Amino acid sequence: MGGNGTHLGSTANVFIVTISERLAKDTGNPAYRITPGLWFKKGSPVMLLTLIVSSIIFYTWFDWYAIPLESHTR
């Protein structure tokens, strides 16, 4: 969940940054480049939101998730 916060947080993020670098170079338009600062600025709110939502879900459903699978099928 925290991988949205930085451009190095996941393989998919690195892939997208590489594509944006190539696009900026091929078109000559530096606006297509995704910088670490831009990624942090846009990714941090997404990261915080996903962490908050997942924490709420985990806290709310922890007892249910802690039950062994055999108990759920009965």
pLDDT tens string 17-29: 999 999 999 999 9
Comparing 55 with 72, the larger pLDDT belongs to 55
The model carries a pTM of 0.65
- In which residue are the tokens 């996941």 written? 10
pLDDT for position 24: 95
The tally of domains found in the chain comes to 1
Calculate the CA dihedral of residues 50, 6, 34, 12 and round it to 10 degrees: -70
| Domain of 36, in residue numbers | 2-72
Comparing 23 with 3, the larger pLDDT belongs to 23
59: pLDDT strictly greater than 70: yes
pLDDT for position 51: 92
pLDDT for position 71: 65
